[in-house]
Amino acid sequence: MEKMTAPPPNMAASPLPPPDPCFVLRGAQSAVHALHFFGGAQGQVHPLLLSGSLSGLVHIWSLQTRRAVATLDGHGGQCVTWLQTLPQGRQLLSQGRDLKLCLWDLAEGRNTVVDSVPLESMGFCRSSILAGGQERWMLAMPGRGNDEVQILEMPSKTSVCTLKPEADAKPGMPMCLELWQADSSPRPLLLAGYEDGSVALWDVSERKVCSRVACHTEPVMGFDFDSQKARGVSGSAEKALAVWSLDEQQALQMCRTHELTNPGIADVKIRPDRKILATAGWDHRVRVFHWRTMKPLAVLSFHSATIHCVAFATDGLLAAGSGDQRISIWSLYPISTDSSTPLLGHTEGGELPEVPGPWSLHFLHKAGFLS
């Protein structure tokens, strides 16, 4: 694929006009609710893009041919809300509103559900995993009780624990989750955004809330956390973004809020190089901010319906999925290749099958990737 970088904005007094999408993927044929880039680390090969739609299908898009190369149907026509690949084994996790988490085997052209985990919550909460490259990995998902989060050890599906807030806290349902591990200690931690607008940090092994901060007055719809800078950003149904940080004592603190033009943020993602972040707006627009200063950088208007999700590829490509059934791909502020800053952990998906050369349809067939 050619370089898809926007012309670098120069220092001229008059700002450049807002950029257009590099290209647009059509053909999901229903609203796009989940996006996940797969592979393509360090720009060796072109990544694939996975999208989950309202009609329950998962599409695998080639970013080179710009076509869907495969479609996975495993959720009985119910909305797919979350997609995540595992670091090893070419496995994909998909969460659907049919109360199932499916584990797909995509290796060598297979696309079968090898396992599934029953969900017990009808909410919109997306799950989260913590996988360090070993056989065993950890999964956090909304639990049976309204306000519970369940932690499982995978692939054995053994329940590790259930995180239930104290009786007097009443944070409402969990809305979004993120499992992570600090560099300093091996203890797994969980960040959870709740219905009452607060974000809580759980120590999973001790099953207790380390800290909690009220960020919003409306439910937290999405957040992202930069573990290196110990700072996170969250969006909610209200008209503001909240930036909060975690100090040495593992206490959450509000840093600042950033006012928006229109209310409603469905998803927030920080780019792997921690330079910029993007938000998915109910106002049909993607907003791009400078992550360190929270300076607004761009407002991307293309979609004609609510944007449900955004995702960054390791090479910096931005994808946005919208209710108008389209996925727009953008290239902004190219990542400098000599950047020595380590990339954010959570977007490092599984390594692709070692396919030589470009990711053409032909190669995918040859490699047995497709059915």
Partner 1 sequence: MGSSCPEVSQPRPRTACRTGPRRPCRISGGIAAAGRPGARGETPGPSGGSVAVSPESPMDSRMDPAVSAVRLTVREAVHTLSSSEDGDRILSTLGSLKRYLGGAENPALPGEQEEFARMHFSALLRCLVGRLSPAWLELLPGGQLEAPWASFFLEGPADQAFLVLMESIEGMAGPSFRLMKMVQLLAQFLGAGRVAAVMESQCWQLAEPAFPLLQETLLAKLVGLPDHLGNRLQRENLAAFLPQNYFPLLGEELLRVLQAVVDSLRDGWDCSISFLSQVLGKACVHGRQKEILGVLVPQLMALTQGNCLWQRVCWRLVECVPDRAMEALLTGLVEAASGPEVLSRLLGNLVMKSKKARFVMTRKILFLQYRYSTPMLQSLLGYLAMDSQRRPLLVQALKELLETWGSSSAIRHAPLPQQRYVSKAVLICLANLREAELRDSRDELLASLMAGVKSRLDSSLPAVRRLGMIVAEVASARIHPEGPPLRFQYEDDELSRELLALVAAQPVADSPSEASPAVAPVAAEAPDRGSTEGGGVPAQAEGAGSDLDSDDDLVPYDMSGDQELKSSKAPAYLRDCVEALTSSEDWERWEAALQAVEGLIVRSPAATREVSVELAKVLLHLEEKTSVVGFEVLRQRALVAVVVTDPAPVAEYLTSQFYAINFSLRQRMDILDVLTLAAQELSRPGRLPKAAQVGSPSPASPSSSTEAPAWRVVVEERIRNKTRRFSQHFDRPLVTFDLLGEDQLVLGRLAHTLGAMMYLAVNTTVAVPMGKALLEFVWTLRFHGDAYVRQGLLSAVSAVLLSVPTARLLTDLPDELLEAGPWLADVAEQDSDEDCRVLAVKALLLLEKLKDTLLPLTPP
Provide the binding-site residues for partner 1, judged by CB under 8 A: 8-19, 261-262, 275-276, 283-285, 290, 292-293, 295-299, 301, 333
The smaller minimum CB distance to partner 1, of residues 18 and 132, is found at 18
Q: How far is the CB of 235 from partner 1 (least distance, A)?
A: 16
Q: Is the dihedral of CA 53, 59, 62, 67 positive or negative?
A: negative
Q: How far is the CB of 334 from partner 1 (least distance, A)?
A: 10
Q: How far is the CB of 271 from partner 1 (least distance, A)?
A: 11
DSSP of 119-187: ----S--B-EEE--SSS-EEEEEE-SSTT-EEEEEETTTEEEEEE---TTT---SEEEEEEEE-SS---
The smaller minimum CB distance to partner 1, of residues 14 and 156, is found at 14
H or E element: which one contains 362? Answer: helix 361-366
Q: How far is the CB of 332 from partner 1 (least distance, A)?
A: 8
Q: Which amino acid is residue 30, in one-letter code?
A: S
From 175, 170, 312, select the one nearest 234 (Cα to Cα).
175
From 82, 183, 89, select the one nearest 133 (Cα to Cα).
89
Q: How far is the CB of 263 from partner 1 (least distance, A)?
A: 9
Give yes or no for a cis peptide into 155 (omega within 30° of 0).
Answer: yes
The smaller minimum CB distance to partner 1, of residues 34 and 300, is found at 300
Q: Which amino acid is residue 200, in one-letter code?
A: A
Provide the terminal-to-terminal Cα distance of the chain, rounded to the nearest Å: 24
The smaller minimum CB distance to partner 1, of residues 17 and 357, is found at 17
The smaller minimum CB distance to partner 1, of residues 17 and 356, is found at 17
Q: How far is the CB of 26 from partner 1 (least distance, A)?
A: 14
